[in-house]
Amino acid sequence: MTSSLSLPESFGKYRVARQIGQGGMGCVWLAHDTLLARPVALKVPHLNNSDDPDPIILARFQREAKAAAALHHPNRAASRSACSRWRRASAGSPAASASRPR
């Protein structure tokens, strides 16, 4: 599984391990929450232009994060947070949402 996006080793409070999935909306990365000492999955949206991301894509990503946070099921990872700020991955952190894998 490969993506044109690579994340920095450190991503806010998360330490990024490896990419574990990808789809039409974005890529999913296995990471470790360094504050709470637990594994998490980070979903990072595909953005057409990293210098000026499409606000429609960011809004869609935010809606998806809200919808996912409203779902509760024992076979689904719970959504823990969402971030809509954008900086280049090489310089900081792209928009992402985090969930705790089961």
User: In which order are the strands placed within the sheet that holds 10-11?
Assistant: 10-11, 14-22, 26-33, 38-45, 96-100, 78-83
Residue 46 inside a domain? The answer is yes
pLDDT surpassing 90 at residue 37:
yes
Tell me the pLDDT tens digit for each residue of 45-76. Answer: 877 656 667 888 888 888 888 888 898 888 88
How many whole angstroms separate alpha carbon 48 and alpha carbon 20? 21
- More reliable by pLDDT, 91 or 82: 82
Number of domains in the chain: 1
- Structure confidence at residue 20 as a pLDDT band (50, 70, 90): very high
Domain assignment of residue 73, yes or no: yes
pLDDT, residue 101, reads: 55
On whether residue 1 sits in a domain, the answer given is: no
Is this structure's pTM higher than 0.75? no
Answer yes or no: is 88 within a domain: yes
Q: Which two tokens stand for residue 33?
A: 């929450």
Residues of the domain holding 60? 10-100
State the CATH number of the domain containing residue 58: 3.30.200.20
